[in-house]
Amino acid sequence: MRLVKLIANLGYGSRKEIQAAIRNGWVTDCGGTKLKPDSKTAHEDILFDDAPLDPAPGMVLLMNKPLGYTCSTKDQGRLVYDLLPGRFRLRKPPVSTVGRLDKETSGMLLFTDDGTFLHRVISPKSDVPKVYEVTLDRPLRGDEGKLFASGGMMLESETKPLKPAALEVLSETHVRLTLHEGRYHQVRRMFAATGNHVVTLSRIRIGGLELDALEEGSWRLLDETDKARIFSITPEA
């Protein structure tokens, strides 16, 4: 791929703008040599304005999503994409969230421009567990764990029962819930069906990958080891 198209596809600007950047000497190799439009230089050896290029297509990001942000490119108000560099929204292929967290849910959110990776994570066949920490409005009634694990629980207006889910009770109003699917507002609807209300909700793990010390509102690139952890088999919470 020609240098101009490569950099434009990463969202740094239009092809015309990238051509101008090359003429101005803003695109160099790691040794400081100014590159030309037909230069053949490895992606990892290219600098744009003295900074390494963003990763090539196949990029995966992990964000610690704050409350109040929407997983959309069209909604009004604060969007999760506002927490990323603006050029990420201009990449080709585009960067998308891997599934969604609603506005009032915080925690682990993945982004990628790799459609195969995205579908592998969200596909029911992959059976990737997602772990949520939940604070409830009222004490548990006592039978939630058995109900959620039964594989026969039905949500209102649906015709297919939920997959078994594992409930870890931390206190009478504080639990961890492990799901193997991602239906619309599933955690909130599950507890609503038992007569309770979710006060706070945060996703803390996807597969074997955790947030670790990532600060709220921050993000980081995932390497191959991180991505492998997503699909690793881990004990249920």
Residue 76 DSSP one-character state: S
Candidate list 102, 137, 223, 226, residue with the active-site label: 102
Rounded CA separation 69/67 (Å): 6
For the question of residue 82 being annotated catalytic, the response is no
> Are 198 and 181 spatial neighbours (Cβ–Cβ below 8 Å)?
no
If residue 28 lies in a helix (H) or strand (E), which one and from where to where? strand 27-29
Kindly state the tokens that stand for 78: 């604060």
Kindly state the tokens that stand for 56: 């090539």
Sequence length of the chain is 237
Residue 107 DSSP one-character state: E
> Are 48 and 27 spatial neighbours (Cβ–Cβ below 8 Å)?
yes
Token look-up 């670790």 returns 212
Under 8 Å CB-to-CB from 134, ≥6 apart: which residues? 174, 175, 176, 177, 187, 191, 198, 200, 201
Following CA atoms 218, 224, 225, 226 in sequence, which dihedral angle do they give, to the nearest 10 degrees? 30
Residues tagged active-site: 102
